[in-house]
Amino acid sequence: MDNQENSQQLNQTTTPQNTEKKKEGCFWIGVVALLFLCVIGVVVIAGGLIFAVASGGFAERMETLASTANSNLIEEHIEGSIFAKDKIAVIDIRGVITSAPAASGSIYELACADIITEQIKRAATDASVKAIIINLDTPGGEVTASDVIYNEIMKARKEHNVPVVAYMNSLAASGGYYSAVACDKIVANRLTLTGSIGVIMETYNYHELFNKIGVKSEIYKSGKMKDILDGSRPRTEGEIQIIQNLVNNCYSEFVKVVSLGRKIPVETIRTTEIGDGRVFDGEQALKLKLVDSLGYFEDATKLAAQLAGTNIESVKLVRYSEAFSLSRLLREMKGVSKPLNVNLQPGAPDASIIKKGRMYFLPEML
């Protein structure tokens, strides 16, 4: 009995101590494990920093990461080695250039200026992008939208020192050509339709129809020029002059950017076929010095790589697409819900794109 009592007393006195020792042991094991993980993390981070510095352009890499983090665009690989460090960004301008949202319910492809400028900006601020190709297949479009794209291309070249090459597919006329002259070089297919350097503004005058059917328009206005484009009455000489002056001023800006970009005197553009609004094929455009060379898309990529001081084998081609978002989904749904506009003039953009009373860089034939 005494031995049993002594054994129980011994167990009662030693068990709490053992428990405390076990807890203390677990604590220190946890501390050691945490310190080990911290050391591993520091080593990995330090190794990454050393690698980045050793490979060059650490600040540029950090700048690239910062710029892409705020972007709503996804980079897509087109061709070339996916492991290539250097890139050439391809920016597509397809369809009528417009300031309208990307989805408008139109059956025609639209080149939304906001999205295009965002893509150019993304490419220009990515240190791994060594050159940009503006891939054109457009009849032109809104005056201001074309000018916005022109300005963003110029910023990429002048502020970020990124060479830009324009490639013309089937069509790069009017506003499309306006955008192209901002680039360092222009490559066209020999069958490309380009040129159409000019401005057009359209409206309807239906006052004779109103007279036939006995309809009169009533307009209450604050000034005598407020209804300058009213089609229910004849246009006055003063109104015609005002509208023509607006078109002439816009045309002067077009001539100026062509002269600046192509090194052609302003007077030569104004007084020859270059500036009378006609369309040229690629070979004619080359003879008139409106483009630099004739070729295909691969020729434009080789030229872009050459301007960037690299070769086409060491770069990959990428393009950007808009990331999925709720706002994009709602915009697309809004576009789908719009009624289809039927245009009775074959080959012409529908009324959802071409607005009466606006100025456009577009060929008359379109």
Catalytic entry in 224, 226, 287, 334: 226
Active site residue 55: no
Catalytic entry in 104, 146, 174, 196: 174
Active site residue 128: no
3-state secondary structure the chain: CHHHHHHHHHHHHHHHHHHHHHHHHHHHHHHHHHHHHHHHHHHHHHHHHHHHHHHCCHHHHHHHHHHHHCCCEEEEEEECCCCCCEEEEEEEEECEEECCCCCCCCCCCEEEHHHHHHHHHHHHCCCCEEEEEEEEEECCEEHHHHHHHHHHHHHHHHCCCCCEEEEEEEEEECHHHHHHCCCCEEEECCCCEEECCCCEECCCCCHHHHHHHCCCCCCCCCCCCCCCCCCCCCCCHHHHHHHHHHHHHHHHHHHHHHHHHHCCCHHHHHHCHHHCCCEEEHHHHHHCCCCCEECCHHHHHHHHHHHCCCCHHHEEEEEEEECCCHHHHHHHHHHHHCCCCCCCCCCCCCCCCCCCCCEEECCCCC
Question: Which residues belong to the active site?
Answer: 174, 226
